[in-house]
């Protein structure tokens, strides 16, 4: 019963699509041919890890190492059950195998936009700090007091 429930856990459709796009991209390289699914899952997991870490640090102003470890653990468990549990990634490849090469190129643009959005929670405070010497974390902390 629990096994069936765990098997039913799937990522949102857009994430399955982005997995297929990144898998198709990595599959073209002979060095990645056998491990393209692993690389694609790792790529998406790292994007989410950066987004979660950035949002967490922006919203809580907490820079403790244990919080970062918990977020890493959360992302690892999340992506395990979304992609690795009983090799669900194979189902996602079958789900989108009808997509032709031209549509895959457009999907690459979507993947790049998604990567950009995932990097925003880290890039905005870093950019403000480097370019304008504004410490966004300090400003938020002052507003909270």
- What's residue 13's pLDDT? 93
- Give the whole-angstrom CA distance, residue 22 versus residue 35: 12
The residues, ordered by sequence, that sit 6+ positions from 83 with a Cβ below 8 Å of its Cβ are 11, 19, 37, 41, 89, 92
pLDDT band at 41 (very low <50, low <70, confident <90, very high): very high
* pLDDT of 141 above 80: no
pLDDT in tens, 78-122: 999 999 988 999 999 999 999 998 899 999 999 999 999 999 888
- Give the whole-angstrom CA distance, residue 74 versus residue 66: 12
This prediction has a pTM of 0.83
- What's residue 123's pLDDT? 85
- What's residue 94's pLDDT? 94
Least confident of 4-8, 9-13, 59-63, 125-129: 59-63
- What's residue 145's pLDDT? 59
Mean pLDDT of all residues in 58-86: 87
Mean pLDDT of all residues in 34-61: 88
Q: CB of 57 within 8 A of CB of 136?
A: no
- Give the whole-angstrom CA distance, residue 84 versus residue 6: 11
């Amino acid at each position: 019963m629990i096994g069936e429930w765990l098997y039913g856990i799937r990522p949102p459709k857009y994430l399955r699509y982005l997995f297929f796009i990144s898998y198709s991209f990595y599959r073209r390289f002979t060095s990645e041919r056998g491990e393209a699914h692993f690389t694609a899952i790792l790529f998406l997991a790292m994007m989410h890890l950066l987004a979660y870490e950035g949002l967490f640090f922006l919203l809580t102003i907490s820079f403790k190492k244990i919080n970062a470890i918990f977020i890493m653990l959360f992302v690892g468990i999340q992506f395990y059950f979304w992609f690795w549990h009983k090799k669900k990634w194979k189902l996602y490849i079958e789900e989108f195998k009808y997509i032709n090469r031209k549509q895959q190129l457009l999907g690459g643009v979507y993947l790049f936009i998604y990567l950009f959005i995932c990097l925003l929670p880290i890039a905005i405070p870093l950019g403000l700090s480097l370019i304008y010497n504004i410490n966004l974390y300090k400003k938020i902390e002052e507003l909270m007091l």
